[in-house]
Amino acid sequence: MSTVQITRFRRAWLGVRYLLGVLLSGVTALLALHLVLVGVALIPAGGLGLVVLPRVMEFLTRATEAERRRGSRYLGEEFVSRPDERPPHTVLARWNHVMRSASTWRTARFLLVWVPLGVAYGLLGVIALLGTPSALIKASLWWLLPGGETTFFGVGVTNWPFAIVGGLGEGVAFAALFWWGAPFLARGYARLVVRLTSPSEIELRAERLSERVEELSHTRAEALRAHGSELRRIERDLHDGTQARLVALAMRVGIAERMVSDDPEKAVHLLREARSGAEDAMAELRDVIRTMYPPILTDRGLDGAVSAVAGRCAVPTSVRMGELGSLPAAVEAAAYFVIAETLTNVAKHSQARSAQVDLSRDGAELTIRVVDDGVGGALEHGGTGLAGLRRRVAALDGTTTVTSPAGGPTTVEAVLPCAS
């Protein structure tokens, strides 16, 4: 047998095998259809159908996804899985969830085609597989049965010449069905399944919109959490540091005021201490302000600030920066903190010999990438500040990716949207 014939036989066998699977799924769908009808009939019976029907439809939806996956695999097409949503536990909530799902109604429409065509195509697969051997057996053993019981093409066999001709003819016909018909039928059914079970463009847009709303809700929660943490930190810094120093300053000035006539020298000493305390309070205030929006960004811009941070890093760090254009202040601050925090981690934990900072802008997105040649193995929950960094980026609807296999290298990439 030549290579072409082997390939053709394999294609025919795969087609038959797919059709046999179609028969199995079609029979399963037929049984499930009866359960659906039972579920509908049980709705007036004390609402029992409200419990049965959602579970049957959930099973059918998963079976439909499996059928679509099988069809896509047979056609050699990419299968995009639709993640299952966890159904609610209460009866009415589960009923509403199933009935409002687009996949439920898509499954119901497909069920009307799935049962008759699935069974019919599956039976054709059985005939393609067993037809030729069956014809040859009938041609050989026709004489064991009463006259006319064995038929070829619907005509009863009464003598050997007709048995030979009829058996060969039927065998050739079934062989043709196996050789050419099965792949053709299998591809046609697979295309029909993929088309009927795939979500429409409107449903895909609705799903993308729903995912976007969920993503924005998550981002908003992260932003609120980051904002709350920042407010608590500022309040703590002001309360424990600056406010305490200002209180001590006021006490020293008050004491000095009372002592200025009795002990001028001691009063001058207290005023000197008060001045020193005022300077310390101002320094702490500047530190607090720097953490809100680094003054270096105002003085030197993002490129100068990044170069300064890289220059101060204990690990030799090079900076590569494209044309960034004008960036919103929040994006500049977030980018600065991402780079500063990441380089701090590099210096503390990575054991790296060098690091590279890349900043580039592609349209409405600013990409920050920090790569080091250290030992890798960075953990987001290992107290390295990566979780806080991710929250800060997520607060601006950005994304953070950390790649740090054991042995290195470690790459931290943050993408920040720049559109206002």
- Tens-digit pLDDT profile for residues 124-167: 999 999 999 998 898 888 888 776 678 888 788 888 888 888 88
Residue 359, helix vs strand vs coil: strand
> What are the tokens at 204?
């895909």
Distances (CA, A) of 205 to 109, 199, 334, 362: 20, 10, 31, 25
pLDDT tens per residue across span 29-53: 999 888 888 888 888 877 788 888 8
Q: What is the pLDDT of residue 242?
A: 78
Torsion sign over Cα 377, 382, 383, 389: positive
> What are the tokens at 279?
């300077």
pTM here is 0.55
Report the C-alpha gap between 318 and 358 in whole angstroms.
Answer: 9
Q: Which helix H or strand E contains 195, and what residues bound it?
A: helix 182-197
Partnered with residue 359 across adjacent β-strands are 321, 368
Rounded to a whole number of angstroms, the CA Rg of the chain reads 38
The pLDDT of residue 55 is above 70: yes
Q: What is the pLDDT of residue 103?
A: 84
Chain centroid to Cα 12, Å, comes to 37
The pLDDT of residue 408 is above 90: no
